[in-house]
Structure 1
Amino acid sequence: MNSEKLWTRNFISISASTLFLFLTFYCLLVILPLYALEDLHGQATDAGLVVTVFLLAAILIRPIAGQWLGRIEKRSLLLLSLCLFLIADLFYFFMHSIGSLLVLRFMHGISFGIVTTVCGTIVADLIPSSRKGEGMGYYAMAMNLAMVIGPFVGLTTFYRWGATTSFIISSIFALFALILGSSLRLPKEQQTVATKTQAAFHIKQLFEVSAVRISVTAAFFSFVYASILSFVSVYAKEIGLAKAASYFFVVYAVVMLLSRPFTGKLFDKRGANVIIYPAIIFFAIGMLLLSMAHTTFLFLLSAACIGLGWGTLFPCFQTIAVQNAAPQRRGVATATFLSIFDSGVGLGSFVIGLAAVHIHLSFLYLYCSLLVLIGVGVYYTLNRDHAAASTRSKQYGNENPSGQHNQAV
């Protein structure tokens, strides 16, 4: 079964476009909190809101985007959303107040929510059913690579040449995302999953029930992950390791890249639990080490553990969400997963931003490590039915591509 081709032209095109899309996202993610604090003279809560408002917009639009995927040609929707994403990125040059920046972040988040939903749906359709775990792992690797290169480029250009140069770089990344996305050529049957006869609209059509439990689990962990996205560069500066901040994501990516070929295939052969429980433990250890980091070695060691832990968890969770949905509901399942996941990131950024005013980030990271450990119980409680079904399907090779084997999840 593993002879089914994974690395097709379309898979490479959508993955490359996603890489540059997230390069833009992560480049802006690490510099905008600093830009809000240093250039616009905002507060810590403003730095958190820069992330939260962006993700809130993405969360609100994704259920609608999931519905559009059943009515609009996928490639057309992809190109439209990539164009909007690029246009919004160009407006950062003209933001000179916290208020205007937050408005732009909301508009930018809308385009981001649409394009990530479309990309996730397209790639789920392109990956052979027997290689879902492996394929989604490699697709997620594009986002993980962006998590390394984006912050590194963003922080380097910001500290050396200022915010304007960083905005130029992010715009170039967005342009390449559009160019690569336009090279996608989908087969006619994959252009849209719309049916000729559609039932009357119901609010439940905006969400895929089978993806909710694993999405809530992912959101729980993404709440903690938000503390890395939004504040690791600020934390590094506080503890005198500002120069090491850029390399945090480099170490993260190296470990993630080395583990990816093994974790994806193991997921397909042995099921989710074999991967997810150890990954949670590594994530918790990484957060604990980060809370104690006062040397470059400990700081980067924490990055390695987080890369092995969280870098493995995210693609596993997304794979489960897609597998549980019927083919015609994959767009909605992707939207459901990403919306709930981003809710955790957005809430985490805001809450940690509020807490950072009163509590040192080292203590916050310590508390986050405890939350990750609690996540073992969260995953077991919400997903044990799926875990049992998934394990059985891997053992007996009877995966149901329609996703009907476990509608209760």
Structure 2
Amino acid sequence: MTDAPGRQESPLKEPAQAPLLTAPFVLLILAFFLGLCNMAVFFNFYACLIANGVEAGTAGFLLGLFSLTALLVRPFISPLIHPGNALPWIGLGAAGMILCLGGYTLGHEPLFIAIIRAAHGLSFVVMVTAVISSTVGVISPQRSGLAFGIMSIVNLLPFAIIPALVEFGLSHGLTQANIYMLAAASTALVFPLLLVIKRLHTRTASAENGEKAIPTRREIMDNFKRADIILALSLGAVAYLCFAIIFMFLKSYGPTIGVEKVSPFFALATVSMIGIRLASAALFDRWNKVRLCTGALIFVGLMFLLLQSTRSQWSFYASGALLGLGWGVAMPVIMAIVFNLSEPRLRAFNTNMMIEMVDLGYFLGPFLGGLVVSSYGYSVLFFIMSAVSIIFGLLALRLAGKV
């Protein structure tokens, strides 16, 4: 592996340093939010499947099929989508999601639902990959920390807002089918956003130069030969693996230490993540990103040790708030590191590979965590995750001077 390929003149100009909150950025962030709402609206999908007579194991598979599709498809479509051609892809993905949301209302047979889930996951990954690619085209490297801080906040909002809205609707006479149709209607708001963006002529690469903006196979292979890129992506995988372990296993861990109600843990973690990003996002570009990443991952590792040793309800909840602080810094900073390390032509591709690391974490978390818990218990699992987070936090220092 090499640290970086020989740098060549890029046909895409570097984004000039400019105010981040431009109309294109804000509109694309709104589209990003609408896309993520398609995931959040399914927070009760497992319970709905069980209520409709689907066997528990099959229901779990159907629930995960959405993310599995995204994990498998993203590496193949990411090289095809760039800031110059992203808008039509966004529209295509949004149209597919609208059709799929309507499809959920037509039947409950497992095979039918599997087809809908796979198609929905495909449409979702197309839209979100294109939104991210287009957004990358309007971010200046000097504002990457703030940009990804904002994006990471938006990433959390649907999961904080949508479940409450769905529960409110269901308790006031709406059916689950009504919920899906309302979600489809909200997704349709993407199309007027696209029209406004197109009229602003803000794409960083023109349609005529679209082919030149697509990374070549050689460029992608050289990209994955770079030790710094692989390390930065690995940092993201570790951060989200740690998060997935908590998300998937906390409910079953709580009762083993006498804590039956774990929802305050997640609420405090979410508030901490949003709070630290709101308070510090602008500082992510002023402070050394590598040191921030190292400190945040080491802090997360230490909080796993706290969670492992806690035996009281209040220290259990406190560990949630503290873990939220660590994740609140680590996740957007790692995204910014990947962005800044990347060649301009590969920024959209590598940013989408970072999202691939998110899906990888959510896939490996329950798989590896289940193996460890079944054989050795929760204490060993949390100790392993503590060690992994601390080790990769220290490894991040190898990126010093490159960002």
TM-score for both structures, normalised by structure 2: 0.78
Residues 274 and 328 in structure 2, CA contact (< 8 A), matched pair in contact too: no
Deviations 1:276-296 (A, max 9, x none): 233224434555666688887
Instruction: Give the drift of 1:339.
Output: 1.9
Q: Secondary structure at the match of 1:183?
A: helix
Q: Which residue of 2 aligns with 1:308?
A: 325
2:45 to 32, 51, 54: 32
Indicate how the Cα distance of structure 1 residues 221 and 303 shifts in structure 2: closer, same or farther if over 3 A, else same: same
> In structure 1, what residue type is equivalent to 2:151?
Y
The superposition leaves residues 328-372 of structure 1 with CA deviations (integer Å, 9 ceiling, x where unpaired) of 22222123222233122122244456777x589xx5487246414
Q: Secondary structure at the match of 1:126?
A: coil
| Letter in structure 1 aligned against 2:48 | Y
CA RMSD of aligned residues (A): 3.9
Q: Which moved more, 1:30-39 or 1:211-220?
A: 30-39
Q: Give the superposition deviation at 1:114.
A: 1.7
Whether contact under 8 Å (1:149, 1:250) holds in the other structure is no
Q: 1:182 to 1:366 in 2, by over 3 A?
A: farther
**Residue of structure 2 equivalent to 1:342:** 359
Q: Structure 1, residues 302-336: CA drift from partner, whole Å, max 9, x if none?
A: 43223212232221121111111122222221232
**Are residues 27 and 294 of structure 1, via their aligned partners in 2, closer, same or farther at CA, if it must alter by over 3 Å?**
farther
8 Å CA contact retained: 1:33, 1:47: yes
Alpha carbons 2:78, 2:352 under 8 Å: kept: yes
The whole-number CA distance in structure 1 between the counterparts of 2:267 and 2:98 is: 26
> Are 1:4 and 2:22 counterparts?
no
Q: Normalized against structure 1, the TM-score is what?
A: 0.77
Q: Which runs of 5+ in 1 are unaligned?
A: 391-409
8 Å contact from structure 1 (residues 59, 339) kept in 2? yes
Shift of 1:14: 0.9
Residue 271 of structure 1 pairs with residue 275 of structure 2: no
CA distance 1:149–1:294, shift in 2 (3 Å) = farther
Distance in 2 separating the partners of 1:298 and 1:39: 39
User: Where does residue 42 of structure 1 map in the other structure?
Assistant: 55
* Matched residues, number: 381
Deviation at 1:173, TM superposition (A): 4.2
- 1:242-253 pair list within 5 angstroms: 245=263, 249-253=266-270
CA pair 141-208 structure 1, distance change in 2 beyond 3 A = farther
Kept in 2, the 8 Å contact 1:263–1:275? The answer is no
Q: Structure 2: where are the runs of 5+ without partners?
A: 1-15
Give the CA deviation at 1:236: 7.5
**How high is the sequence identity, in percent, across the aligned residues?**
18
Partner SS state of residue 197, structure 2 = coil
Asked if 1:129 corresponds to 2:132, the answer is no
Residue 3 of structure 2 corresponds to none
From 309, 322, 335, the equivalent of 2:339 is 322
In structure 2, what residue type is equivalent to 1:127? Answer: I
Aligned-partner Cα distance in 2 for 1:384–1:222: 19
Check conservation: 1:293, 1:299, Cα contact below 8 A: yes
